[in-house]
Amino acid sequence: MAIFDLDGTIIDAAPDMAAGINGLLRARGLPPLQLAEATPLLGDGLRVFAARAFRLRRSEITEGEVAAFVDGYVQAPILETRLYPDVARTLGALREAGWRMVLCTNKVEVAACSILRELGVLPYFDAICGGDTVAFCKPDPRHIEQALARARLLHRPAVMVGDNRADVAAAQAYGMPSVFAAWGYGRPDMGRGATKVAGRFDELPGLMSAALIGWTSG
């Protein structure tokens, strides 16, 4: 069984998130973020991203601005967001091979579902667990637990796949192996502690199997 992160792992959502926050920054007379500035701020949900963006411009975001950003993003989350290469094909192959898959993301759940549905990969997942519908978010391992519980897949051997330190840390705390998605937003050092490191999405089937075998036999 596999548990996937979303942003930086399955999708590249940085252009849409940057565009959304840049409207608020411009309204404040602050310089907009370049894409290279926005991507390192991702990984801990929409609200945290918005706060980080304003702090990068030496300012503090108001609660009203946070709400406006989240609402605006939820209404139009997929103008430029795309799947990473080989995602749909690989998820299909995993499903055919008998893998059960769950999505565990710090993103707002309704936006995650909308994006996956629009990109045609929602049916591959047994459950979606966003950061706004549970009490604890990654790196808290209880987020993983809640995601598995929704899919009725608790206590089964599983591997976490993600591009952020939060994914690796959540997997370690839960007691499961992880594969670091090196193509995503996270710096290479964020993969420290991961069981395996993948350079491309289509490498995942072999690496996930190896991670699970090594974990259970170790």
> What are the residue numbers of the active site?
5
Contact status, residue 5 vs residue 101, Cβ threshold 8 Å:
no
Indicate the pairing of strand 11-12 with strand 82-83.
antiparallel
**If we measure between CA atoms, which residue out of 164, 133, 141 comes closest to residue 49?**
164
Q: Is 72 left (phi over 0), alpha (psi -120 to 50) or beta?
A: alpha
206's CB contacts (< 8 A; 6+ apart) are none
- Measure the CA–CA gap between 109 and 6, rounded to whole angstroms: 11
Beta strand extents in the chain (DSSP E only)? 2-4, 11-12, 82-83, 101-104, 127-129, 159-162, 178-181, 196-198
Residue 170 burial by Cβ neighbours in a 10 Å radius (0-12, 13-18, 19+): buried
The residues facing 129 across adjacent strands are: 104
Farthest CA pair distance, the chain: 57
